[in-house]
Amino acid sequence: MNITVYLGATPGNDPALEPAVRALGTWIGKNGHNLVYGGSKCGLMGMLAESVLEAGGKVTGVEPKFFVDDGFVYDAITELIVTKDMSERKAKMIELGDAFIAFPGGTGTLEEIAEIMSKVALRHLDAPCILYDLNGYYTGLRMLLDRMLESELSTSEKLSGITFAKSLDDIARVLS
């Protein structure tokens, strides 16, 4: 299975992030899955790719040319796909993915997983959409989705394909 993971290119300041991202990468690699991610060697992205590779997995990075030109490429990955811009990168990552995980990240992560959530809600994408709610990181987003339901601006049917996972075990259960 190709698992597309969206996450930050910085390490963040929560000491739980590094061990959790490395555990996720190890799980992906040891279970015979392939990682699709943004291609960077920096921060959480680099840690994830490194842990997948160390566990014997394959890693496909999808990176826009301007990031390649700026030297953010992780040279050790299995495959690098260079795109002309961020829009093309997002489309390629969706095309390659069989499942989608949002690990804690910044505005780019939020934008990317929001598109997946919308496609899943509209039934334009039949794939697991998982928000890794490590230490309550995505609690605010979950509250917003609940507010959409309360306001009758969405339905539980539309949101049924979106999962909030508190742990790697939760993620493994969804993907098994």
Domain edges within the chain: 2-175
Residue 161 pLDDT: 93
Task: Collect all residues with Cβ–Cβ distance below 8 Å to 142 and sequence separation of at least 6.
Answer: 131, 133, 164
Residue type (1 letter), 144: L
pLDDT of residue 70: 87
pLDDT for res 73 = 86
Residues of the chain below pLDDT 50:
none
Q: Class assignment of domain 2-175?
A: alpha beta
pLDDT score for 95? 98
- pLDDT attached to residue 74: 87
Both structure tokens of 147: 């507010």
Q: Phi/psi class of residue 12: alpha, beta or left (left: φ > 0; alpha: ψ in -120 to 50)?
A: left
Taking the C-alpha atoms of residue 157 and residue 57, their distance in angstroms, rounded to an integer, is 35
As a whole number of angstroms, the distance between CA 31 and CA 113 comes to 23
Residues pairing with 2 in the sheet: 34
How far is the C-alpha of 34 from the C-alpha of 77, rounded, in Å?
11
DSSP strands (E only) in the chain: 2-6, 34-37, 58-64, 79-83, 99-102, 129-132, 162-165
CA-to-CA dists, residue 97 to 5, 110, 121, 123, 140, angstroms: 9, 17, 17, 15, 26
Bridge partners, 63 (sequence order): 82
pLDDT of 71: 82
